[in-house]
Every structure is written in C-alpha cells, then in structure tokens.
C-alpha cells in the first residue's frame, strides 16, 4: 500500500515535471493514438479533380470502412463536406500493419452522390502517414488515405 502510493506520487511528479521530451518518452510508453482522416469527393475516382474550373463536389454521407485483410475493422460516414474521421485504439492496431495490410474503402456506390457516376465498384485507397503530433501525454499519428481508385467495376 505505502509502496503503491509512493509510486503514484513519483509518477505524478514525473508527469507534472515532464518536459516536452519527457512527455514524448512517456507517450511512447503509453502508445500512439492513431487518427485516420480524409475527404471523399464525388468524382469518377473519388479524388478532387485537379485544376478544375469549379471545385469538385464532396461525397456526403458515404459509408467509409477501414478494411484489413478483407475484414471491416471500423466504419463511419462522411459529413456534408465529404470529410471522415476514424480514431483507433492503439492497443488493437499496429501502425506497420495498418500501412501494409489495411485500406480505406468507400462502400457506397458513386452513383449515390451523382447518378451519372458508376453504380458498381468501390473506391479504395491505402493509408499513408501525414505526421505525428504530441497532444498532452499522447502521440497522435495522423493517417490519411492516399489516392482513391475505383476497383471491382
Ligand atoms: C495545375 O495548375 C498549376 C498552375 O496553374 C500547374 O502548375 C499544374 O501543372 C496543373 N496541374 C495539372 C495536373 O494540370
Ligand atoms: C456528375 O458527373 C458527371 C460525369 O462525371 C459530371 O459531368 C457532372 O458535372 C456531375 N454533376 C455534378 C452535380 O457534380
């Protein structure tokens, strides 16, 4: 009991006195939060059309899945601006596995945002790292889909 409270006090002192570098060290021990965010566009390949005269419309209310080896691990919907966000439990995912074995899949057909677009196939993109930021005691690794491709047409 006494030892436990001493350890707790010691930990608190470490946390309160932690500099940025120490915070990073601690957050390394606690693991990094994995945050996946991106935008899906209502175009033939789900990406923004570069140098278009008008901005590419967003794909709102699209069903977005994190798919790893064919298993859906997490799902969400895009908002009105086509933006989605998925935060993962760092204890359940390894960054290296996410990058090598997982994809962002848009399960809603493109025809649901524009009836002239394909009603078959799904948009799929591998993940890429945008960067790491420190938020309090945690490292947050920000990931985003690389370019989408329409597959399985
Ligand atoms: C888009 O426009 C920029 C500047 O006008 C130009 O440098 C670039 O090559 C264009 N990109 C494409 C894909 O046409
Ligand atoms: C729907 O898609 C077609 C074909 O890509 C495009 O020409 C048209 O501008 C799109 N409509 C809207 C409202 O974005």
Nearest atom, ligand 1, residue 50 CA: 13
The model carries a pTM of: 0.79
Give the separation between CA 112 and CA 84, rounded to whole angstroms. Answer: 17
Dist. CA 69–CA 77, nearest whole Å: 21
d(CA 92, CA 53): 43
Query: Which atom of ligand 2 lies closest to the CA of 114?
Result: 1
Q: Predicted confidence band at 12 (pLDDT cuts at 50, 70, 90)?
A: very low
Query: How far is ligand 1, taken at its centre, from the CA of residue 50, in Å?
Result: 7
Instruction: Give the closest residue to 54 by CA, choosing from 46, 40, 43.
Output: 43
Q: What is the pLDDT of residue 5?
A: 57
Distance CA 94, CA 99 (A): 9
pLDDT band at residue 27 using 50, 70 and 90 as cut-offs: low
Residue 74 is inside which H or E element, if any?
strand 71-77
Instruction: Please report which confidence band the pLDDT of residue 80 belongs to, taking 50, 70 and 90 as the band edges.
Output: very high
CA nearest ligand 1 atom 7, residue:
51
CATH tag for 32-151 (out of 2.20.28, 2.60.40, 3.30.70, 1.10.10): 2.60.40
Per-domain boundaries in the chain:
1-30, 32-151
At 128, phi and psi to the nearest 5?
-135, 155
Q: Is 53 in the pocket of ligand 1 (CB under 6 A)?
A: no
């Amino acid at each position: 009991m006494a030892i436990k409270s001493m350890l707790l006090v010691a930990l608190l002192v470490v946390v309160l006195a932690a500099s940025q570098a120490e915070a990073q060290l601690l957050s390394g021990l606690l693991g990094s939060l994995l945050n996946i965010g991106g935008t899906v566009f209502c175009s033939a390949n789900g990406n923004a059309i570069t140098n278009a005269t008008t901005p590419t419309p967003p794909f709102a209310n699209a069903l977005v899945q994190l798919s790893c080896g064919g298993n859906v691990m997490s799902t969400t919907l895009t908002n009105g601006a086509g933006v989605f966000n998925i935060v993962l439990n760092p204890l359940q995912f390894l960054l290296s596995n996410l990058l090598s074995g997982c994809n962002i899949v848009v399960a809603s057909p493109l025809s649901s945002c524009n009836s002239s677009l394909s009603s078959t196939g799904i948009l799929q993109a591998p993940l890429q790292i945008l960067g790491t930021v420190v938020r309090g005691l945690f490292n947050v690794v920000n990931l985003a889909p690389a370019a989408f491709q329409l597959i399985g047409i």
